[in-house]
Amino acid sequence: MSSNPRDLYGLPLLEKESKKVRLQIAFQAQLDPTFPDRIAELAHGEKFWSCIQCGTCSATCPVSPYMDYTPRRIIAMIREGFRDDVLRSLTIWLCASCYSCTVECPREIKITDVMYALKRKAIAHGLYPKRFPTPILATEFFNIVQKTGRNSDTRLMANLYRKTNLFKALINLRIGIKLFFSGRLPLGSESVRDRKSLATLLAAVDRAEKEGAS
């Protein structure tokens, strides 16, 4: 009898293909029942629970073929409490913010706002895909502005390449040199005069968000 691995239908699989087959079971204890309410609140989703899973959002999304979960599946997974699976997905970072899904949704659900809410949660919980540039860029931008009140393009790009892919910095080195000599990429960084007031303002915003979530 052949020792080749077989798929669910009894058909033989190649060695490298068989390694891709994984059985994943989500138990009730692994789900987060509070997750859908928190996302609906962040996304002003009063109509969030009225989704009829028609798939219009997935059909109109121009980048859905490249997503690991379509927008329709993301909504379904949120409502069932699959927090970690949703926040670790590439879907929320591939969203082009074109609002096609929101415009075409027969239930008038603000799906694009849901994607923004998921991005915020993914960054807060550190559950975004490792070395994926978009969430790292957003995090580094916030950290720089939080400290100085101004963005530094040079420092921002240096931190981005350091935490994602240093080889890409070498590829774009020629462009960086041109920007430097044209005065578009200064080495220094600017700062607001009153950093203490900035820190007080950001702390007040943070407290207001925590009070609103409680």
Contacts 24+ apart (CB under 8 A), 55-62: 56/101, 56/104, 56/105, 56/106, 57/101, 57/104, 57/105, 57/111, 58/101, 60/100, 60/101, 60/103, 60/104, 61/100, 61/101, 62/96, 62/98, 62/100
pLDDT digits (tens, 9 = 90+) for 146-205: 999 998 888 898 899 998 888 888 888 888 889 888 888 888 888 888 888 988 988 898
Name the band, by pLDDT with cuts 50, 70 and 90, for residue 48. Answer: confident
Tens digit of each residue's pLDDT (9 = 90 or more) over 76-110: 999 999 999 999 999 999 999 999 999 999 999 99
**Do the Cβ atoms of 138 and 123 come closer than 8 Å?**
yes
Give helix 133-148 / helix 111-125 axis angle, nearest 10°: 70
Q: Which of 83, 113, 129 is the last residue of a domain?
A: 129
Segment 22-43 shows an average pLDDT of 79
pLDDT at 16: 42
205 and 140 in a common domain = yes
Q: Which of 141, 136, 114, 140 lies closest to 126, judged by CA?
A: 136
Compute the 3-state secondary structure of the chain and give helix, strand, coil in percent, each to the nearest 5.
Answer: 60, 0, 40
Q: Which domain holds residue 84?
A: 29-129
Does any domain span residue 35? yes
| % of the chain surpassing 90 pLDDT | 39
Token pair for 27: 């138990």
Task: Please check whether residue 164 lies inside any domain of the structure.
Answer: yes
- Position 3 in a domain: no
Does the pLDDT at position 27 exceed 50? Answer: yes
- Domain with 118 in it: what CATH number? 1.10.1060.10
Instruction: Give the total number of structural domains in the chain.
Output: 2
- Give 6's strand partners: 12
Residue 18: partners with Cβ closer than 8 Å, 6 or more residues away: 5
- The whole-number pLDDT of residue 170 equals 86
Give the C-alpha separation, 39 to 160, whole Å: 28
Q: Average pLDDT, stretch 118-136?
A: 88
Q: Of 129, 161, 178, at which residue does a domain stop? A: 129
Would you state the pLDDT for residue 69?
93
